[in-house]
Chains A and B, each alone.
Chain A
Amino acid sequence: MARPASIHYFNVRGRMEVIKMLCAYTGFAYEHHVPKWPEDKNKYPFGQLPYFENEEVKLNQSLSILRYIARKTGTYGSSDVDASRIDQILEGIYDWGNFYSDVLYSRGRNTNYDEDMRRYGTKDLPIKLGIFEKFLIENGTNYIVGDKITCADVNLFVVIELHLYAFPKALDAFPNLREFYQRVADMPNIKAYIGSRRDLDVVPLNSIGKGQEPIALDD
């Protein structure tokens, strides 16, 4: 039996969670290795984590890893056009995730965590969610691209889940996203994976433990 793939990452959810969720959904086998950091940094192509290795590839960059696994497991759509639509969603979510990270880590113009999170939750988050609500409605199949589950659906699910800790009512105004989210959460492999996950006090969302407590929003 071939050795399962090895994924190297810190002991947080972070950028690996979408990869783990896709592996759980598809049954793609992997081992999670936690490297010594920063001692092991230069072992990796871009000196970063997550990192993925098997007999075929050695990869940095979470989206590249996601795409590789998606290609292997038939979750990259049914055509080249589907793949491009999926890419559009992956890139859009990546930008969104970076935007939220800047708020969580108080980077760039963000200086006051509570104020910034309140502003983000009140003003920015509904706009981001609205974009994906619209994609769902326009696609009209209950999936974000095509007519079956793809890595883009898993990515959308994970980024929404990440937000629900700090913004538990975020989906109240988005019926299609709410229904999508619940449907994915109820899928047997996803449900089992979520049920088996460690609590946030053991494996936090990120390295600074932010974004885990509900934020009171402006009315």
Chain B
Amino acid sequence: NRKKKRMTAPAKVVYFNIQGRGEIIRLLFEMTGTPYENVAAQWPAIKSEQAFGQIPLLEWNGLRLNQSLAIARHIARETGLYGTTNDEASRIDMIVDGEADLRNTYTSINYGNDYDSKIRHYRDTTYPNQLGYFEKLLEGDWFVGSKPSLADAVVWNLLDIHLKIFPKSLDSFPKLKSFHQRFAEIPNVKNYINSDRRPTNINANGKGMSPIEN
């Protein structure tokens, strides 16, 4: 008798072909070896179908979810990246929320007015100030518990996009610097970032790709 394995369709991630707010979703699936499909969004055709008029959208096992962080938390729950205790889950939440605030600042500067002066002020004050908190919160190899979690993925993603414009940004943060390297060496992650599955462009307006030195 042949046992028939119940197949569930891979998750669908509907987004633009940029890293943006979709990258954390791809990273989580890749890191855990969970099958998923990138679906290039028909935009703005599908806008009115989205709960908040925005993407990314996740479709997985009959669930439709918008909001990148809700999607990220969902994947983390499904794939064991949310810690093992209430305490760990809350610390993960705090780091995810902290990263989100900093990402919102980066995003509003990236797409806003006065980019040239705001990005430099951000490079010299806001970003390093906030990195100081993350440096302090990193007490071991990983942010929470003894193995990589959702918290590590979000912070790594943030650090990585910032290194494109601020290549020296981790020089004063030795723990974050070695964390960035350590996470990138995780076999599934290393495989992903060296593949063509990872979008080249970070933002929809093409900004954020090269160093801002002076």
Contact = CB atoms under 8 A, between A and B. Distances in A.
B89 interface: yes
Given A84-B70, A91-B70, A108-B108, A47 B94 contact: no
A92 B52 contact: yes
B133 A87 contact: no
Interface in B80-112: 86-87, 89-91, 93-94, 96-98, 104, 108, 112
Contacts of B86: 56-57, 68, 71-72
A71 B86 CA distance: 8
B65 interface: yes
Interface in A82-113: 83-85, 87-88, 90-92, 95, 98, 108-109
A79 to B, nearest CB: 10
B93 A92 contact: no
Given A108-B112, A135-B51, A91 B67 contact: yes
A37 to B, nearest CB: 16
Contact of A87 (B53, B69, B108, B113): B69
Interface string B37-53: 00000000000000111
A84 B77 contact: yes
Interface string A46-72: 110000000011011101100110011
Contacts of B71: 84
B91 A57 contact: yes
A45 B52 contact: no
Where chain A touches its partner, the secondary structure class is helix
Nearest to A59: B94
Given A63-B97, A92-B67, A87 B74 contact: yes
A131 interface: yes
A67 to B, nearest CB: 5
Contacts of B130: 46
A45 B70 contact: no
Contact of B94 (A60, A72, A90): A60
B97 A57 contact: no
A173 B94 CA distance: 36
Contacts of A60: 94, 98
A56 B52 contact: no
B77 A83 contact: yes
Contacts of B89: 67, 71
A61 B66 contact: no
A39 interface: no
Nearest to A62: B97
24 contacts: A45-B98, A45-B136, A47-B133, A56-B87, A57-B87, A59-B90, A60-B94, A61-B98, A64-B93, A67-B89, A68-B90, A80-B78, A83-B77, A84-B73, A85-B70, A87-B67, A87-B73, A87-B74, A91-B68, A92-B51, A95-B52, A98-B104, A131-B53, A134-B51
Interface of B: 51-53, 63, 65-71, 73-74, 77-78, 86-87, 89-91, 93-94, 96-98, 104, 108, 112-113, 130, 133, 136-137
Closest 7 CB pairs of A and B: A87-B70, A61-B97, A64-B93, A91-B67, A84-B74, A88-B70, A64-B94
